[in-house]
Amino acid sequence: MILEKCPDVSTSTVEIALASLLKEGYIMKTGAGKNTAYIRNMEKWLLVVLR
């Protein structure tokens, strides 16, 4: 879906960005393979907003 909305961004760039957000705890991964989805970690986002 990201690649469809941002066709000028390469697959590897999206993968690196998602891996970074996942590692830092901003998103959570669910599913596997073609069923993979990423969900915003609201606890982490609220900590950033409230600072």
How does pLDDT run across 1-48, given as a tens digit for each residue? Answer: 889 999 999 999 999 999 999 999 999 999 999 999 999 999 887 777
Q: What is the pLDDT of residue 1?
A: 82
| pLDDT at site 28 | 96
What is the model's pLDDT at position 27? 96
> Which three-class secondary structure string do you get for 10-49?
CHHHHHHHHHHHHHCCCEEEECCHHHCEEEECHHHHHHHH
Query: What pLDDT shows up at residue 30?
Result: 96
pLDDT score for 43: 87
- Contact residues for 11 (Cβ-Cβ < 8 A; gap 6+): 3
